[in-house]
Amino acid sequence: MGRIDFFLWPRAAPSLNVRFARLVRGSYLHVEETKLSNRVFAGLLLFSSSALAQAPPVDRAELRALQAAVAASQSAGDNAWMLVSAALVLMMTGPGLALFYCGLVRRKNVLGTMMQSFAMMAVITLLWAVCGYSLVFAPGNPFIGDLRYLFLRGVGAEPNALYAPTIPHQTFMIYQLMFAIITPALITGAFAERVRFRAMVVFSTLWAFFVYFPVAHMIWGSGGFLSAFLGGKYPVFDFAGGTVVHITSGFSALVTALYIGKRVGYPQEKFVPHSLTLSFIGACLLWVGWFGFNAGSALAASPLATSAFVATHFAAAAGAVSWMVAERVRNGKASALGAISGAVAGLATVTQGAGFVEPFSAILIGLVAGALCHFMVTVAKEKFRYDDSLDVFGVHGVGGLAGCLLTGVFATRVVNSGLKLANGQPAALGWIDGNPAQVVNQLIGAGIGIGLAVVGTLVALKITALVTPLRMKEREEDTGMDLSLHGEEGYNFEA
Amino acid sequence: MIKIETVIQPSKLENAREALRNIGIDGLTVSEVRGHGRQKGHKEVYRGREYQVDFLHKLKLEMVVPSARKDEVIRAIVEAVRTGAIGDGKIFVSEVEEAVRIRDDTRGEAAL
């Protein structure tokens, strides 16, 4: 493609000419500001007016080319953002979550814990390519997709207009994969420091089939039972996975912690985080990655993405403040672990509503998240004495559930006008929008998500236990995952 | 010869080294240790769960010096690391039977 250089009079209002040029070029405009004589400026005006004058009234072929060029430029912008978002979401699992979790365990389990997240990056990817994507996003019945995209057949450069009309279908596919990776990786925190590697891989694979694929299809898939925009029976607003990711992983985590049992020595012995510096880095990577998670869920570089970005950031900040205040009141000190836990709680809680709520609603959601999750982790867990080692249920399960319901309250068409009435006007979304019934829909969605998570996790655990022992032997647990399961150590200071 | 073992607060290492160098004591071994005497440990809280930490970070200095310099060395160390608060540390002195410089097999005080 050639290049047109426009020389514009520095102070002259360039809007007409620039707009015209952008239309003609579709994708490329080069503007140089330079000192010009009146003569050149006059020439420019002459050029543009003559170009307008010469244009035939409406040339259909030219118009089509123009439309194609405009569409191509939008696709380029959206695709760039979505590819970056996909990478950001992958970064949440590795190294984000891997670091966050591994810092919280004892030194002898640092590699074993990181490997649990990393293994998901590898295993779920293959699963997704073979059939996972199809089971979630192919139209099928209301509960699971069919197999039309088996082995990613037909998933190429051509956009899938149902989900994201401006980006290649393959971009949508790889973006959604990153969510399927982080969800089972989140669960691993609940059974940290005591489950064999093979059992963890088998369980997570089964769990993807029994819980993630059906729930994701129901909420996000075309024709899904709970789909808000694609013909669901009970429309659930789940912008970026509050139910699909956080409720499912959080409640499944609780089931695994109860089923597998406590770590040897818990709670009498000391289970002190071996490196909060690693956890700190991990949590900050999660925060940044979450922009891809939530803002990317707009599936375009759109104002909606901006809105979700802002809500995400605000909720994380509010969550951190809220948890720190709660700690200060209870223990007298705000801790680093508390601050990062609060941020993650805020992020998990705002995920469901990120693309539906206004900035100050997001702050409110974050404030609720920090205090509520702090209570769950410090008071409720102590009372019930389950060993959800890294607080997946307390943060993601409870935060996810709160976020699901609060989305029903705070969702507004001011932010998201995607749902239209018959007359083309945006439909009222949440309670504050005049649609209190949405809270019931959200409750139904959460209930189905929780139910499927509990049952699916139990079945997956039972089957796994038939195939391979779930727990490490007591002696192996004492030695640590790194040596027992992987034959290596995370820290060799004498080396 | 005597061995002087000193357990001190980690932050006082530079003071101690400076004081020892001023009186001509150059040989010194330092190790990071954990322990407690009368000073109680402290409480750590992780996500609401409290842990009592009894063993505190300390540094242990070891040096072997001629017996005649005992009081001089002790005084130098005490003045350098004392804060007057609980947890300042301890000094232990013991007899040393032999010293050997590995390089040339020098024995006794000449090897120090």
Residue A477 is part of a domain; what is its CATH number? 1.10.3430.10
In terms of domains, do A47 and A93 share one? no
Distance of alpha carbon B55 from alpha carbon A32, whole angstroms: 69
In terms of domains, do A47 and A85 share one? no
Looking at residue A195, the DSSP 8-state letter turns out to be B
Owner of token pair 């057949």: A153
In terms of domains, do A46 and A167 share one? no
Residue A102 vs residues A99, A114, A490, B55: alpha-carbon distances, Å = 5, 6, 10, 24
ipTM of the complex: 0.74
In terms of domains, do A34 and A144 share one? no
pLDDT of residue A56: 61
Per the CB < 8 A criterion, the answer to whether A409 and A431 are in contact is yes
Residues of B in contact with A379 (CB under 8 A): 48
How many folded domains does chain B comprise? 1
Owner of token pair 């695994």: A256
Average pLDDT over every residue of A229-237: 93
pLDDT of residue A51: 52
Distance of alpha carbon A136 from alpha carbon A124, whole angstroms: 13
**DSSP letters spanning chain B:** -EEEEEEE-GGGHHHHHHHHHHTT----EEEEEEE-SSS--EEEEETTEEEEE-SEEEEEEEEEE-GGGHHHHHHHHHHHH--SSTT-EEEEEEE----EETTTTEEGGGG-
Contacts of B85 (CB under 8 A, 6+ apart): none
Q: Please check the confidence at residue A167 and state whether its pLDDT lies above 80.
A: yes
Distance of alpha carbon A53 from alpha carbon A456, whole angstroms: 68
Is the residue at A9 inside a domain?
Answer: yes
Strand partners, A490: none
Radius of gyration in angstroms for the set of CA atoms belonging to chain B, rounded to a whole number: 17
Is the residue at A406 inside a domain?
Answer: yes
Distance of alpha carbon A25 from alpha carbon A22, whole angstroms: 5
Return the SS3 of A164: strand
In terms of domains, do A98 and A33 share one? no
In the structure encoding, which two tokens stand for residue A14, read together? 């360039």
Distance of alpha carbon A436 from alpha carbon A439, whole angstroms: 6
Q: Does A382 touch chain B (CB under 8 A)?
A: yes
In terms of domains, do A41 and A137 share one? no
User: How big is the A-B interface in CB pairs under 8 Å?
Assistant: 28
Q: Does A270 touch chain B (CB under 8 A)?
A: yes
Distance of alpha carbon A322 from alpha carbon A409, whole angstroms: 20
Cβ atoms within 10 Å of A53's Cβ, excluding its own: 7
Smallest Cα distance from A366 to chain B, Å = 18
Pairing of strands A5-8, A30-33: parallel
Cβ atoms within 10 Å of A286's Cβ, excluding its own: 25
Per the CB < 8 A criterion, the answer to whether A309 and A292 are in contact is no
User: Could you give the count of Cα atoms lying within 13 Å of A92 in the half-sphere of its Cβ?
Assistant: 28
Return the SS3 of A390: coil
Distance of alpha carbon A116 from alpha carbon A481, whole angstroms: 11
Which CATH number fits the domain that encloses residue B17? 3.30.70.120
Is A272–B45 a contact, with Cβ atoms under 8 angstroms apart? no
Ramachandran quadrant class, A374 (left: phi over 0; alpha: psi -120 to 50; beta: rest)? alpha
**DSSP letters spanning A55-120:** S-S--HHHHHHHHHHHHHHHHHHHHHHHHHHHHHHHHIIIIIIHHHHHHHS-GGGHHHHHHHHHHH
Is the residue at A494 inside a domain?
Answer: no
Q: Does A302 touch chain B (CB under 8 A)?
A: no
Contacts of A274 (CB under 8 A, 6+ apart): A103, A105, A106, A107, A110
Q: Which domain holds residue A82?
A: 78-486
pTM passes above 0.80: yes
Is the residue at A84 inside a domain?
Answer: yes
pLDDT of residue A54: 59
Burial of B53 (0-12, 13-18, 19+ CB in 10 A): middle
Residue A332 vs residues A273, A317, A318, A372: alpha-carbon distances, Å = 20, 21, 19, 18
In terms of domains, do A138 and A22 share one? no
Among A268, A269, A272, A275, which would you mutate to test the B interface (most chain B Cβ atoms within 10 Å of its Cβ)?
A: A272
Distance of alpha carbon A16 from alpha carbon A154, whole angstroms: 43
In terms of domains, do A135 and A83 share one? yes
In terms of domains, do A279 and A225 share one? yes
pLDDT in tens, A102-160: 999 999 999 999 999 999 999 999 999 999 999 999 999 999 999 999 999 999 999 99
Is B45–A333 a contact, with Cβ atoms under 8 angstroms apart? yes
Using CB atoms, pick whichever of B45, B46, B48 lies closest to residue A382: B48
In terms of domains, do A33 and A136 share one? no
Q: Does A493 touch chain B (CB under 8 A)?
A: no
Average pLDDT over every residue of A373-389: 93
Q: Does A444 touch chain B (CB under 8 A)?
A: no
Q: Please check the confidence at residue A275 and state whether its pLDDT lies above 70.
A: yes
Of A218-222, A461-465, B28-32, B33-37, the range with the lowest mean pLDDT is B33-37
In terms of domains, do A309 and A233 share one? yes
| Size of chain B in residues | 112
Residue type (1 letter), A151: F
Contacts of A351 (CB under 8 A, 6+ apart): A239, A240, A241, A242, A245, A246, A290, A293, A294, A312, A400, A403
Q: Please check the confidence at residue B9 and state whether its pLDDT lies above 70.
A: yes
pLDDT in tens, B41-82: 888 899 888 888 888 899 999 999 999 999 999 999 999 999
Distance of alpha carbon A106 from alpha carbon A115, whole angstroms: 15
Using CB atoms, pick whichever of B44, B47, B51 lies closest to residue A377: B47
How many folded domains does chain A comprise? 2
pLDDT of residue A495: 73
pLDDT of residue A21: 35
Q: Please check the confidence at residue A30 and state whether its pLDDT lies above 80.
A: no
Q: Does B32 touch chain A (CB under 8 A)?
A: no
How much of chain A, in percent, has pLDDT values that exceed 70? 88
How much of chain B, in percent, has pLDDT values that exceed 70? 100
Is the residue at A270 inside a domain?
Answer: yes
